Structure 1
């Protein structure tokens, strides 16, 4: 019983984005459901390990319309956190790995040995595919204020209100809500780079995330308004990184942080391409201090 089948799903038309593949918010919602099933099957709970500190997702292959989706879940005691739950999402139609998520927990050091014994039947070694690559494994801190990130070079790119449909079973806004805000925010951030909507359309390219790290800092509930401020954080030849900061609008209380590694994809070849000439220098000039 070392690994559990925790999700059986399917990619629907209404879940696909402008690139004709599954939008990232629905990867997160599927990982959420897989996690709930894993907890039901194993007895894993916050009362044993504390709240989840971070969820780190890597996207390995596209999931397109009509694809059969499965998730398998386990615990890696050799992962980057004291307790690391690993969810592996597969394209069951082709039998390939599509995405991975690791959930990080930090229970007290005195309970680690007992937890290893309790969950030994669902233990698997940490896989290379799930190991963080372009982002550190550590959760983000909540020290950055809204005024501070704006002064550092971020810009406000989204506003929303938490509605009943955004809530998880615990009565709080869930991962899918946060990711829906961030995915709608991201194109406004891309417009600050050379990879504008016009440039992407001209070159037959699309925006793609290859790695994301979500850290919840405080909950938001029905009726609470939120604002998202996003800034660029770095650039390589084919990828660049940025950070979304979500705050409760009325009090500027930090709610969540999502770090992202993005790239440009050729929509015909379905492959990553180099960023346009001058992109690295342009992003370096406007990235957050």
Structure 2
């Protein structure tokens, strides 16, 4: 396998991974590959004084590029062979908070390789104590079959998806391929309207994934208000809202200058958990660009614990619940 990968000039970065595996033959599974390092900035934190959800997606997005590069198919290699590689979906579980100045590292590996897709696992850690703060599972698609050498190299380092990265509360809804004109009739409400800025786009001029998560996050106060929770009053009581899991499907690309509308609603709830749905549309055509499921909870900011919804809350939530197919 090593000689096969080595024979292709584009795959030299993978040699380092092979050497690591050769030094660790006694390990039961291949070692995760370092793919991203940073520290949390003040401006990345939200009203809960912790890292906003959109930046976990940004970390995983950059880690994905480094993972593909380690396997021999970085951006330059993709351009050289004319491949169109892009994210199809992101599933993230938020397990532990990152606070201001906390160090961040991402370790990655493929968990599945198909003819035209790869499932990447990203373990987002705090290296100061080794704790896993979040897990991300990204489905990456390619417009043509993967090069044979790349696929062989990826298959050589596949790992099993850990239990804490498997879907827990998302993936149970059949989110329809709506047009914007049909959204209100389904009970969805408008919670965001904006424009894609050039600075929010990648080298291809396409809207970056983490900014989609950012639009969902920015919409959260409006959605909570719609559900009868006064977010300003909650903040005065040192109560916030958090997302503990999200699954986003990238349906169609958006570009700089596109007009955006976010339509959201409550799909399901329990006494502690709210299941939200978000639909991101291009406003001019009504085209659905992305849709997501998000699991939200109330947070007591004083003791950093989630809260229970009162019976009154639950009766009100029942009246505002969407009727989506399961």
1:106/1:221 CA distance change after superposition, 3 Å: closer
The counterpart of 2:255, out of the listed 214, 221, 224, is 221
2:293 corresponds in structure 1 to 259
Aligned mates of 2:239, 2:113 — CA distance in 1: 38
1:32/1:106 CA distance change after superposition, 3 Å: closer
1:32 corresponds in structure 2 to 61
Task: Tell me by how many angstroms 1:244 deviates.
Answer: 1.1
Aligned mates of 1:27, 1:233 — CA distance in 2: 24
**Normalization by structure 1: what TM-score?**
0.89
The counterpart of 2:110, out of the listed 46, 66, 75, is 75
Say whether 1:16 aligns with 2:51: no
Task: Tell me by how many angstroms 1:92 deviates.
Answer: 1.4
Q: Which moved more, 1:168-177 or 1:192-201?
A: 192-201
2:8 corresponds in structure 1 to none
Aligned mates of 1:82, 1:219 — CA distance in 2: 18
Tell whether the 8 Å contact from 2:71 to 2:153 is kept in structure 1 after alignment: no
Q: Deviations over 1:232-287 (max 9, x none)?
A: 10001211011111111111111111211000111111111212333233222112
Aligned mates of 1:64, 1:218 — CA distance in 2: 33
Aligned mates of 1:86, 1:29 — CA distance in 2: 14
Aligned mates of 1:14, 1:205 — CA distance in 2: 20
Q: Which moved more, 1:4-13 or 1:186-195?
A: 186-195
Q: SS of the counterpart of 1:55?
A: strand
Aligned mates of 1:83, 1:221 — CA distance in 2: 24
RMSD: 2.7
1:240/1:44 CA distance change after superposition, 3 Å: farther
Q: SS of the counterpart of 1:19?
A: coil
Specify the structure having the higher radius of gyration (Cα). 2
Aligned mates of 1:177, 1:167 — CA distance in 2: 9
Aligned mates of 1:243, 1:61 — CA distance in 2: 23
The counterpart of 1:152, out of the listed 182, 186, 197, is 186
Corresponding pairs, count: 286
1:239 corresponds in structure 2 to 273
Say whether 1:175 aligns with 2:204: no
Tell whether the 8 Å contact from 1:210 to 1:262 is kept in structure 2 after alignment: yes
Task: Tell me by how many angstroms 1:203 deviates.
Answer: 3.6
Aligned mates of 1:103, 1:120 — CA distance in 2: 16
The counterpart of 1:43, out of the listed 72, 78, 88, is 72
2:123 corresponds in structure 1 to 88
Tell whether the 8 Å contact from 1:56 to 1:137 is kept in structure 2 after alignment: no
Tell whether the 8 Å contact from 1:77 to 1:126 is kept in structure 2 after alignment: no
Q: Which moved more, 1:46-55 or 1:156-165?
A: 46-55
